[in-house]
């Protein structure tokens, strides 16, 4: 880290005690900022970095709800509205027992730069709850969502803050949330939430967007090295929405995905993951990944296994934060991996990132590689504002174009700042400068 930033980082740590994930995200961005402050000293004078690190608003609230047996539960809800210099706050809602303020702040901080990289007019925010929808009935999920939105509704709106889905929040949850917002506000404000069902203002490609965007980014990244996904052996951690559609797009682009996982272990299918089977297990049955092997006799299930030990050309971590460690990175490199791109948010530890960059392989951070989801959410907002509906093919082409622009911008910025091929530095600097210039233009607010 540049010495000019050490005291700033120390102050951030002091102001955010115990927020490990948030501090990690800040450190990662700060590691790229030295050359920017040297080139633009006015950003230091105006304390732009300090202002970006402090959320504009942090909301924590109680969410009481009742289960099917009549028992009362109390969960905690969050919405961190981090930065609106470029547009209304935009970022998903995560429902998972691990959710706490640090997790939401790290996700919101990353969202600022990710959204800036899309080139679309959206700021950064994030929210969620420690509620777990797994194992709950539709009626229980509905009651929780209605209670959650009863408080959240006063803080969101299409010109203020536009949440979307994330882990644990899909079309079912978004539908319940939107229904309660409509009921309370007495307005059919389609643009207040994205990731909606197609029958009430949703957009085609939104379900596939993060995974598809990741595939497009990897293809561009390999293309910059005169290679392609065609014939490459790939592994994808996770088996949720992002992972499934990353597998689908990588397969369409000629790659062969041989392994994916969930929290119980991973499966290996030498012939390539069969998407209809995977979708049946995970999207229809909502079952564990081991069920896949009941349909594919040549597939193997590795209980509590480490997917990163699987030999591959391309690795796509799409599960959760800090899942790929320094030890895992060393194993991937030893096995000949040439590219890593993040489908999840901050899934690679700092030690692993350092190893990838030192080895000179293509490595793309989530704020660039998984920006397809929020980009398509912004496209959904455009359709809602114009009362329009775009075709799947049209929206997919726009997504591919946005991901190419993000890739090229990261690469060009890395070249400009003397670190050619370093997508992590390029993404951090390109995202930061866009937000910093907007903050500067808006005055001391």
Q: What is the mean pLDDT of the chain?
A: 96
| Structure confidence by residue, pLDDT tens digits, 347-369 | 999 999 999 999 999 999 999 99
pLDDT recorded at residue 438: 97
Domain ranges within the chain, ordered by starting residue: 55-189, 209-369
Give the dihedral of Cα atoms 18, 19, 23, 26; nearest 10 deg.
-150
> Do the two domains 55-189 and 209-369 of this chain adopt the same fold?
yes
Shortest CA distance to 431 belongs to which of 367, 345, 347? Answer: 367
Domain 55-189: give its CATH code: 3.40.50.10860
pLDDT at 425: 97
Task: Decide: 98 and 108 in contact? Cβ < 8 Å.
Answer: no
DSSP state of 313: S
- φ, ψ at 316 (rounded to 5°): -125, 95
Per-residue confidence (pLDDT) for residue 3, from 0 to 100: 81
114 is an active site residue = no
What pLDDT score does 2 carry? Answer: 80
Count how many Cα atoms sit within 13 Å of the Cα of residue 147 in the half-sphere of its side chain: 21
- Residue tagged active-site, from 90, 114, 126, 249: 126
Strand order in the sheet with 57-66: 57-66, 72-83, 123-129, 89-95, 161-165
Which residue(s) pair with 161 in the sheet?
89, 157
Q: Which residues of the chain have pLDDT under 70?
A: none
pLDDT tens-digit readout, 129-152? 999 998 999 999 999 999 999 999
User: Domain 209-369 adopts which CATH fold?
Assistant: Rossmann fold (3.40.50)
């Amino acid at each position: 880290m540049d010495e000019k930033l050490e005291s700033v980082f120390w102050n951030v740590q002091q102001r955010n005690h115990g927020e490990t994930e948030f501090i990690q995200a800040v450190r990662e961005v700060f590691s790229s900022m030295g050359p920017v402050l040297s080139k633009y000293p006015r950003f230091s004078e105006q304390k732009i970095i300090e202002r970006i690190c402090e959320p504009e608003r942090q909301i924590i609230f109680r969410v009481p709800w009742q289960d099917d047996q009549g028992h009362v539960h109390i969960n905690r809800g969050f919405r961190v509205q981090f930065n609106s210099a470029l547009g209304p706050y935009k970022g998903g809602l995560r429902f998972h027992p691990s959710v706490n303020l640090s997790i939401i702040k790290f996700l919101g901080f990353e969202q600022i730069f990710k959204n800036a990289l899309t080139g679309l007019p959206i700021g950064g925010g994030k929210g969620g709850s420690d509620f777990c929808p797994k194992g709950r009935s539709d009626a229980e999920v509905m009651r929780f969502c209605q209670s959650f939105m009863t408080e959240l509704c006063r803080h969101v709106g299409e010109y203020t803050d536009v949440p979307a889905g994330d882990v644990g929040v899909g079309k079912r949850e978004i539908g319940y949330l939107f229904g309660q917002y409509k009921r309370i506000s007495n307005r059919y404000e389609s643009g207040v939430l994205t990731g909606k069902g197609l029958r009430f203002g949703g957009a085609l490609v939104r379900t596939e967007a993060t995974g598809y965007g990741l595939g497009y980014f990897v293809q561009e990244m390999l293309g910059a090295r005169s290679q392609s996904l065609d014939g490459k052996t790939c592994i994808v951690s996770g088996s949720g929405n992002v992972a499934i559609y990353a597998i689908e797009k990588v397969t369409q682009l000629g790659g062969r995905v041989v392994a994916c996982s969930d929290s119980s272990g991973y499966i290996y299918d030498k012939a390539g993951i069969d998407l209809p089977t995977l979708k049946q297990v995970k999207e229809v049955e909502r079952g564990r990944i081991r069920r896949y092997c009941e349909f594919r006799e040549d597939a193997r299930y590795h209980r509590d296994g480490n997917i990163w030990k699987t030999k591959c050309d391309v690795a796509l971590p799409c599960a959760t934060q800090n899942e790929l460690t320094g030890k895992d990175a060393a194993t991937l490199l030893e096995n000949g991996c040439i590219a890593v791109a993040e489908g999840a948010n901050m899934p690679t530890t700092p030690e692993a990132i350092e190893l990838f960059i030192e080895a000179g392989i293509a490595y793309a951070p989530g704020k660039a590689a998984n920006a397809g989801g929020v980009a398509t959410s912004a496209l959904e907002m455009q359709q809602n504002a114009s009362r329009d509906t775009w075709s799947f093919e049209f929206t997919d082409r726009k997504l591919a174009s946005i991901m190419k622009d993000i890739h090229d911008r990261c690469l060009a910025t890395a070249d400009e700042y003397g670190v050619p091929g370093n997508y992590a530095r390029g993404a951090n600097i390109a995202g930061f400068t866009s937000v910093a210039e907007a903050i500067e233009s808006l005055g001391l607010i």
